[in-house]
Amino acid sequence: MNVGDFDFDLPERLIAQTPLKERTSSRLLVLHRKDGSIEHKSFPDLKDYLRPGDTLVLNDTKVIPARLLGVKADTGAKAEVLLLRRLEGDTWETLVKPGKKIREGTRLWFGTDAQGRKPLLSAVVEAEGEMGARHIRFEYEGIFNELLDRLGQMPLPPYIKEKLEDRERYQTVYARHEGSAAAPTAGLHFTQAFLEELRQSGVRLCPITLHVGLGTFRPVAVENVQEHQMHAEWYNVTEESAELINRARSGEGRIVAVGTTSARTLETLGQRFKDGPVEACSGWTDIFIYPGYEFKLVSALLTNFHLPRSTLVMLVSALAGREHILRAYKEAIDREYRFFSFGDAMFIT
């Protein structure tokens, strides 16, 4: 299976640059995977496709202001660091710009004190990791998270050129646990009122956590899909959420994943507990889902529209069939749906 099998022409104007003013004002394409039929709705119509007893699985990760703009200590040249995940203590796995000039031993400075004499946050590159990553150790006085909140910016996708003034527009309304370098964007459509309406209708809300790293969005650089290596991401499932998943698994309704990150976490659980009930647990997952994969827990999926040749397009193709997905995407493009993080939604049922 080649990466070119998941290619399509996407006009740049359809890649959403800014969030909608109202979360529920987005459009909703409904794809019935059994026969490939398509319906065009608005997002609040999602309630018509959810049934009492369904379990809606929500990734409650919270995005940290993980983008740091600073300078190289020796030359004053501009430098950018994107935090991916904490390794231990004050050492993080990161991506850096310009990558060719920030090597092992490079010292970086971020911000300055009130007198403008010394940096509020400094760092040294301790090692070069896989796929261009850098292991960076930070040095500071005070509390790291407070400094990060003061100095950091939200790590928006690179195609978004404008600075997001309201950080909360890149957080889901149910975000709880800090640790992501990117938002689980399918959840950006929900309001608290709409979630409560679903709950009142008999839909069970099930939070799980997967801290999103850039591995989810990293381009596939190899021609053979099976040779692509996913970046590991940390997940956590509580005892209460495990019980909700088990109730649905036993026939009390469908498991409906909100976003590909929730779907990947659920399928990690399906593999980990294939011979028994799901238990409270945490760990790392690098699961890569593409056509030919047999889903173990996910019955339906709410997602946004993804970029060509991405692992996300491969995942939805595994669930609905590549031909159905490409046809639905063509129709979405013809009708000028908004794509990617701040775009419109698709419900695969």
The full set of domain ranges for the chain reads 3-63+166-348, 67-151
Q: What pLDDT was estimated at residue 215? A: 64
* Per-residue pLDDT tens over the stretch 36-62: 999 999 999 999 999 999 999 999 999
Contacts of 71 (CB under 8 A, 6+ apart): 77, 78, 79, 108, 109
Q: What pLDDT was estimated at residue 44? A: 97
pTM score, whole prediction: 0.91
The tokens for 266 are 């659920």
What topology does CATH give the domain 3-63+166-348?
A: QueA-like (3.40.1780)
Residue 73 confidence (pLDDT) above 70: yes
Q: What pLDDT was estimated at residue 116? A: 67
CATH architecture of 67-151: Beta Barrel (2.40)
* Per-residue pLDDT tens over the stretch 174-183: 999 999 988 9
- Bridge partners of 108, per DSSP, are 72, 123
Instruction: Name the residue with tokens 């964007």.
Output: 185
Please state, in angstroms and rounded to a whole number, the distance separating the CA atoms of residues 252 and 258: 18
322-334 vs 311-320: helix axis angle to the nearest 10? 110
CA distances from 342 to 18, 169, 345 (A): 6, 9, 9
* Per-residue pLDDT tens over the stretch 247-267: 999 988 999 999 999 999 999
Same fold, 3-63+166-348 and 67-151: no
